[in-house]
Amino acid sequence: MPTPFYLVDAFASQPFHGNPACVCLFVDDKSDAWKQSLAAEMNQAETAFVLRDGNGYAIRWFTPTTEVDLCGHATIASVHALHEHGLLPERGRTTFSSKSGPLPVWSENGLYWMDFPKTIAAESAEVPENLLEGLGLDSYQWVGRSIFDILVEVDSAATLKSLAPDFYHLST
């Protein structure tokens, strides 16, 4: 039986912009090896698998090579896919169960929202190679790591808004 999947550009207002993620809905009967193979075939940063979980949904994320514990843009892409299929109505809210804990998500006025899980506070860290160049930053205030993220503090909101990350450069 065919398995539909969707390529969704998260954080975009038009096609071919934003941060793409593959979304596969309701493949509860597929093995982890199958999910990993599909993610490798799709060759996106992440492929999200939305699964049925009682009266709600669970979500898992796979890169082309491994399963990860959390992916924000693929979660937002999944909310969009659910919304487009009428499974999350306008102003709809659900909470995905995930390896990172509960992830509340919702749609409101055409926008999608997510509450990230609370994590252990970030600790100061060395600046990873390619980070500043990949972000297009000449300077920064502080760099730290949490269990999920590398955090960069910049000098102002204007600096933050002006960033144009080179995601390919960041991935190398």
153-165 residue pLDDT tens: 999 999 998 888 8
* Helices and strands: H and E segment counts in the chain: 5, 11
pLDDT for position 108: 79
46 as an active site residue: the answer is yes
The string of pLDDT tens digits covering residues 72-85 is 999 999 998 988 88
Q: Mean of the pLDDT values across residues 61-65?
A: 96
Q: What is the pTM of this model?
A: 0.72
Q: One of 41, 46, 90, 129 is an active-site residue; which one?
A: 46
Q: b or e along 31-52 (b: 16 or more beta carbons within 10 Å of the residue's beta carbon)? A: eeeebbebbeebebbbbbbbbe
Q: Which helix (H) or strand (E) holds 95?
A: strand 93-97
Q: In Å, how far are 13, 122, 143, 154, 165 from 133, measured between CA atoms? A: 26, 22, 14, 14, 9
